[in-house]
Amino acid sequence: MRGITAERAGYLRRGVRAAGSERDDLVLGAKTVVAAMAAWVLARHLLPPAVATFAPFTALLALQATVYRSVRDCVQYLLAVVAGAVLAATLAAVAGIHGWTFGLLTLLALCVGRIERLGRQGTQVAVVGFFAFSSGQGQIGYIGHLAGSVGIGALCGLAAHLVLAPARHARHRQQAVADLYATVSERLNGLADTVESSDPDRERLGRWHRDAHLLAAECERIRAGIDAEIENGHMNPRRSIDGADRALTRAREAVTIAERATDHLRSMTRTLHHALDSRELGGLPAAFRTRYGSVLRASASAMGEIGRTSPTDPCRLDEMIDGAAGELDAANRRERTTAEASPAVHALRGTLLTDAARLLADLRSGREALTGVS
Q: Which residues of 151-180 are buried (b: 16+ CB within 10 A; e: fewer)?
A: bbbbbbbbbbbeeebbbbbbeebbebbbeb
Pair 19, 167: CB distance under 8 Å: yes
The residues, any chain, with a CB within 8 Å of residue 235's CB and separated by 6 or more, are 67, 68, 71
Q: Supply the pLDDT for residue 10.
A: 55
Burial zone of 344 (CB within 10 Å; 0-12 exposed, 13-18 middle, 19+ buried): middle
d(CA 55, CA 147): 9
SS3 of residue 53 by DSSP: coil
Rounded to the nearest 5°, which phi and psi values hold at 99? -65, -45
- DSSP line for 316-327: HHHHHHHHHHHH
Computed over every residue of the chain, the mean pLDDT equals 84
Grade residue 282 by pLDDT with cuts at 50, 70 and 90.
Answer: confident
Element holding 216 (H helix, E strand): helix 212-232
Q: Supply the pLDDT for residue 242.
A: 73
d(CA 252, CA 249): 5
**Per-residue pLDDT tens over the stretch 177-234:** 999 999 999 999 988 888 888 778 788 888 888 887 888 899 999 999 999 888 888 8
Model-level pTM greater than 0.95?
A: no
